Structure 1
Amino acid sequence: MKFVALISGGKDSFYNILECHRQGHELVALANLHPLNVDENETDSFMFQTVGHDRIEHYGLCLSVPLYRQPLTGGSTNVQLEYTPTADDEIEDLYTLLSRVKEEMPDIEGVSCGAILSHYQRTRVENVCDRLGLTCLAYLWQRDQAELMSEMCSSGLDARLIKCAAIGLNDKHLGRSISEMLPILTKLNQMYDVNVCGEGGEFETFVFDFPLFERRLEITDEKVVAHSSDCSYLTFSTKSVPKETCEITGKSADLIRKREPLEEQFLLVQESVTNSLPITIPEVKDVSFPVGPTVITTPLRLYVSNITSTASDVKGQTQDIMNQLSNILKAHEVSITDIQHVTVLVRDMGDFAAINKEYASFFADTYLPPSRVCVQTTLPQPYHLQISCIVLDPPAGTRQGIHIRSRSFWAPQNIGPYSQAIVDTKDTFKTATLSGQIPLIPSTMELDSDDSVRSATLSLQHLYKVKTLVNVKQLAAAVCFVTTTSPQIASQVWKEYVQEVEHGQDFDDRLIIVQVSGLPRGANIEWGGLAFERVVGMYDDAEESDAPRLLPSAAELTQGFKTNIVNINENLNVVKLMTSDIGLVIDFLRSPAIGNSHVTVMTKLSNVHKLVALGLPAEWVPVLTVWDSDGTEFDFAITWIA
């Protein structure tokens, strides 16, 4: 795609241009925000580097593309992590700048952004991109800093320090290249935890040469300015001079095109798993029976399940379902911003675009929409879709998450109205609902190869990266949806993952594998789950909560099932029950002991029909086949939040 690059003059913005180039994108313009007072070098912007702004004008000539500039008239008015449009904020200056670029160059589709670790920076660029219909290209996002800095130094990027503001750095380091500084920065990282890439504001750089430059910059005059006792910067004059070549060297050009999406530990997982033949998708006869909504209130959550509609078409059903949900939320004095997770079951993935359009409009004003799992499966007539959701109650101040819409090497970007994860934090624990992950190559957003083992491994890596980024690392429950991928592959990949990546933690039996008839983008596998992390006080015994426990009356209910219990805290357990005995399931669902707790039943549509006909309460997820984590087939998989 054609893209405009946001530049500050620093190494990160230029190296990301190089990454964009290696991914086949075409640079057509540069954009820069500068202080309103052109004589001012250092400002208090939370977002933009301004030191060296007076030398930016050379870059358009060096790259032979137009340079668009805009003065910063706003300040850091809105400092919330997730940005919403705010008057007199500097981000509105960015919006004005990129609006002008897009108006003059309407074929631009992307915006290059050099964010590495800053959620603050990334969310603001994404906000502006969303408002303008552009894609944020952030190929440095979540990269290992030492590895990234080493790549920059070997790429032909001549970036030099022009500001120092960290222990161990002083004015003698100003003007030195990042290649010269790398050993010093590595040592300071070991001694004082200084960020090697300067992500903590330890230093700023200015680029004098770059593999794509047709001309390079030379300093003609320089002066050190002491901004404060612990911060100094360089003012300088430059001139541009011709270069012999602007071609990228072969080694540098191949660096990213050949980047392996699987990280080393997941490559070990892939290599340890034996491929097996695909399975077939069985045909299921249409059946018609009514499914009504179930609403369960617990001390921690509101569970709204099985919302369906008999409207005449897909659009009408979706609108009716969202209206029903809205009314239920109002009746329980919560709002759509309190929804943590949504499960969307569709009869035909071909209807997904129409469903998603209505769904997106429902969450249009929600800057952190719920996490989501969406699969195609067997639904009774006349339903085109069914929606269930988890709502946080009480919600005040506990809901966080990640809604990453930038394209990167980290994990797939969100291209719909859902977050990768939503985290609910309580005094003694936190839980994260994780959106379904399919085997997309993050840098291109295309499905990886048809190899089932690789697809299973890559999509599970995405799930792992999401829960790691939100720092909620224990998996209470995982569900693997497959279409034609063998359950034995899913089981093997899971077990190898637990050993190689989770270092043998007690996750083995927390997986349910189910077959459905279709997945987004035609993928053959999707992983989703619920993660948790206990918050342990200084004087608390972390081991006290590890032993699975249920109330005696509830424990009796699990007899006869193959059972796995995960204790999150003294009042919250996640229980997995597997059986092929429908009588056990009926007795379980009829028991008063399950009380106001949430139960999800995954089974064939014919079994759902039998259980619904008995008036039993649960969230129903009709599937084609059910397997345990070891690949053993069962008729029923039950998740009980007790």
Structure 2
Amino acid sequence: MYQTVGYDALNSLAECIGKPLYTQMIKGTAANQKLEYAKTNNDETEDLYQLLSHVLENHPDVEAVSVGAILSNYQRTRVEDVCNRLGLTSLAYLWQRDQIELMSEMCTSGLEAVLIKVAAIGLNESNLGMTLQQAYPVLLNLNSRFGVHVCGEGGEFETLVLDAPFFRFGRLIIEEEKIIRHTNDEVWYLKLRVRVEKKDPPLPESQDWSKFINQPSLLREQFEDIRRSVDGVVESGHSKVQKTDTITWKTNAFHIGSKVYVSNLYSTKSTIVEQITEIFDQLKVYLRQYHVTFANVQSVDLFINDMADFAEINSIYKGYFTEPLPPARCCVESNLPASTKAILSVKIIPQITLKQGLHVQSRSYWAPSNIGPYSQTIMDRQENIAHLSGQIPLIPKDMQLCNQPASLSACLALQHLDNVKQVTGYTEDLLSVAFMTDKSWLDVVVEVHRQYIDNSNFLIVLVTDLPKGAPVEWSGLSYKDVEEEEDEEYEEATKSPLERVSVRFTNSLENFHFSKRSHYTIYSNDVIDVPATISYQYSPVSAVHRGDEVEFKYGVVEER
């Protein structure tokens, strides 16, 4: 995780920048080599925790830690873990940036850096000492020929910064250098001696940093094109939907195929705390019954009575999901009976080795950080299906809500969902669900989805409120094309994902064919009458629309 070549220049860098430097010997090793990190004794990450704790003792006004991860989940998750424990924000504004674009920006930013270690095909001792500007065309060539990462994200090279726009007091001058070849490896590095050349006078403390910082466009080209094509005026007039006073669902639990479904947990206790606690007490019983734990939960659907209660509900909720990779989650306010504070349904992967996921908790330009007990997505490698958490139109860099115009908000939230799919490789759309709080957005949401992907497994539902008062939220399922799957541990599912999931719309469940070998998610604001032998989740909504905007009483998602 840590760069060692050139570390002895750190004191000189501190002198150039004019900021206090804190150092500490690394005592631990990479004891925990899992992608998702959890506190581990004698791990090098705990040395980082101790060092940042010391920094906070001396500088209690410190709020955040900047991490340069571009692709590395390994590095990012460790910094995020330390930051979470210390109450700091992890800033990863390079995360998922296009590497060619990013390197081009660094070459024109006033940054002077040289290669001090090389360890990749096509790189050798002749490249040591090259500036980024000199190395850029070399790296572009190696990227096209061999897939070398232009920014060195695969460990291809390491650098030392000699000067930068924020070096107010000096720059580094290399006085001596010696090329060292790592024993038995095609790895070379420079052993350096540097000195500080003072800047007289020092650069001014206040600068217009915007000229050195590039902020990517809010929308990628694909979604900007969609936004332009659907841009238009949306009528206002959102109003709360009348709550129902009737409980029409039943709690149920079934083991179907490779998954366990526990659905429609609720409580009749009097307070929020009592109800949420009892719901999780019920869930604990089912988890024990199926010999699993909270770590096995893949996804959670949480429907609540009043979004004003969300913070209190979430404070209890997070106490149960404390392991790395908490479940994917969709949480909305909808028309529950007045006395019912919440209804909870979960899907569980009994064989935890088949569970994978993505849980990004850093601020970035990529997609909203998930500061909380849920992951952007959790994948079941046997079924080859990813459950995608609900995404609302938050501006990732500062987590502020974008709610107008409708075309921008709908595209931004859907882009977040797509970005998650792209990072994980589960890029094929299997099911799309759009939650809206204002029916006047229907035309825009339908057209945005049509231009994104023309998929019949799509339903739009109206609810009374969404997190942060968002106007739209996208959720759903995706899968990976495994025709060229190279992972030897991958277990082929008995059915393809496309055979596993389908959506039907109906105005009556009276003659609806239910199979005991399937699980059903039923979106409706009407009475639910399902045989006791059927596994089903009730998703209370105010209205259900098909992709052609036709309204139905029931939208039924079947998982086989």
TM-score, length-normalised on structure 1? 0.81
SS in 1 for 2:412: helix
**Aligned pair 1:137/2:91, yes or no?**
yes
Kept in 2, the 8 Å contact 1:84–1:127? The answer is yes
Whole-angstrom distance in 2 between the partners of 1:524 and 1:61: 50
**Aligned pair 1:158/2:112, yes or no?**
yes
SS in 1 for 2:408: helix
1:475 is matched with 429
Q: CA deviation at 1:224?
A: 1.5
Q: CA deviation at 1:246?
A: 4.2
Question: Cα–Cα, structure 1 residues 230 and 161, in superposed 2: closer, same or farther, change >3 Å?
Answer: same
2:488 is matched with none
**Aligned pair 1:495/2:450, yes or no?**
yes
Q: Please tell me the residue identity of whatever aligns with 2:496.
A: I
**Aligned pair 1:575/2:532, yes or no?**
no
Whole-angstrom distance in 2 between the partners of 1:577 and 1:271: 31
Gaps of 5+ in 2: 486-491
2:518 is matched with 597
Question: Cα–Cα, structure 1 residues 251 and 181, in superposed 2: closer, same or farther, change >3 Å?
Answer: farther
1:542 is matched with none
SS in 2 for 1:461: helix
List aligned pairs for 1:542-581, cutoff 5 A.
Answer: 568=496, 572-579=499-506, 581=507
Matching residue within 247, 253, 265 for 2:222: 265
Whole-angstrom distance in 2 between the partners of 1:396 and 1:442: 31
Question: Cα–Cα, structure 1 residues 614 and 200, in superposed 2: closer, same or farther, change >3 Å?
Answer: closer
**Aligned pair 1:635/2:553, yes or no?**
yes
Compare 448-457 and 412-421 and name the one that shifted more.
448-457
2:468 is matched with 521
1:345 is matched with 303
Matching residue within 153, 158, 177 for 1:222: 177
Kept in 2, the 8 Å contact 1:296–1:596? The answer is no
1:326 is matched with 284
Q: CA deviation at 1:586?
A: 2.1
Kept in 2, the 8 Å contact 1:488–1:630? The answer is no
1:208 is matched with 162
Kept in 2, the 8 Å contact 1:288–1:382? The answer is no
Kept in 1, the 8 Å contact 2:518–2:535? The answer is no
Kept in 2, the 8 Å contact 1:73–1:93? The answer is yes
Q: CA deviation at 1:217?
A: 1.2
Whole-angstrom distance in 2 between the partners of 1:315 and 1:336: 19
Matching residue within 321, 340, 344 for 1:387: 344
Kept in 2, the 8 Å contact 1:437–1:528? The answer is yes
SS in 2 for 1:312: coil
List aligned pairs for 1:165-244, cutoff 5 A.
Answer: 165-214=119-168, 215-228=170-183, 229-243=185-199
Q: CA deviation at 1:491?
A: 0.4
Question: Cα–Cα, structure 1 residues 439 and 257, in superposed 2: closer, same or farther, change >3 Å?
Answer: farther
Kept in 2, the 8 Å contact 1:456–1:490? The answer is yes
1:29 is matched with none
Percentage identity across paired residues of the two chains: 41
Q: CA deviation at 1:258?
A: 5.2
What are the superposed Cα offsets for residues 57-79 of structure 1, whole Å, 9 maximum, x if unpaired?
02222222111001111111111
Kept in 1, the 8 Å contact 2:253–2:535? The answer is no
Question: Cα–Cα, structure 1 residues 199 and 285, in superposed 2: closer, same or farther, change >3 Å?
Answer: closer
1:25 is matched with none
Q: Please tell me the residue identity of whatever aligns with 1:380.
A: P
Matching residue within 293, 315, 322 for 1:357: 315
1:440 is matched with 394
Whole-angstrom distance in 1 between the partners of 2:17 and 2:343: 52
Question: Cα–Cα, structure 1 residues 77 and 218, in superposed 2: closer, same or farther, change >3 Å?
Answer: same
Kept in 2, the 8 Å contact 1:373–1:528? The answer is yes
SS in 2 for 1:234: strand
Whole-angstrom distance in 2 between the partners of 1:164 and 1:249: 36
1:420 is matched with 376
What are the superposed Cα offsets for residues 190-246 of structure 1, whole Å, 9 maximum, x if unpaired?
122211111111111000001111121111222222223411111122222233664
Q: CA deviation at 1:251?
A: 9.7
Whole-angstrom distance in 2 between the partners of 1:256 and 1:631: 43
Matching residue within 296, 301, 305 for 2:259: 301
Kept in 1, the 8 Å contact 2:253–2:262? The answer is yes
Kept in 2, the 8 Å contact 1:57–1:67? The answer is yes
SS in 1 for 2:120: coil
1:315 is matched with 273
Q: CA deviation at 1:536?
A: 3.5
Matching residue within 441, 447, 456 for 1:509: 456
Whole-angstrom distance in 2 between the partners of 1:600 and 1:107: 48
Question: Cα–Cα, structure 1 residues 408 and 282, in superposed 2: closer, same or farther, change >3 Å?
Answer: closer
Q: CA deviation at 1:396?
A: 4.0
Q: Please tell me the residue identity of whatever aligns with 2:308.
A: G
Whole-angstrom distance in 1 between the partners of 2:46 and 2:460: 47
Question: Cα–Cα, structure 1 residues 578 and 612, in superposed 2: closer, same or farther, change >3 Å?
Answer: closer
Whole-angstrom distance in 1 between the partners of 2:241 and 2:128: 70
2:537 is matched with 619
SS in 1 for 2:398: coil
Whole-angstrom distance in 1 between the partners of 2:20 and 2:504: 62
Matching residue within 48, 60, 63 for 2:14: 60
Gaps of 5+ in 1: 1-46, 499-506, 539-544, 546-566
Question: Cα–Cα, structure 1 residues 76 and 615, in superposed 2: closer, same or farther, change >3 Å?
Answer: closer
Q: Please tell me the residue identity of whatever aligns with 1:423.
A: M
**Aligned pair 1:465/2:397, yes or no?**
no
Q: Please tell me the residue identity of whatever aligns with 1:568.
A: S
Q: CA deviation at 1:248?
A: 11
SS in 1 for 2:22: strand
Q: CA deviation at 1:612?
A: 7.1
Kept in 1, the 8 Å contact 2:434–2:460? The answer is yes
2:489 is matched with none
Whole-angstrom distance in 2 between the partners of 1:142 and 1:248: 31
SS in 2 for 1:361: coil
What are the superposed Cα offsets for residues 155-187 of structure 1, whole Å, 9 maximum, x if unpaired?
011010011112221222211100111011111
Q: CA deviation at 1:533?
A: 2.4
Q: Please tell me the residue identity of whatever aligns with 1:94.
A: L
Whole-angstrom distance in 1 between the partners of 2:355 and 2:43: 25
Question: Cα–Cα, structure 1 residues 152 and 537, in superposed 2: closer, same or farther, change >3 Å?
Answer: closer
1:559 is matched with none
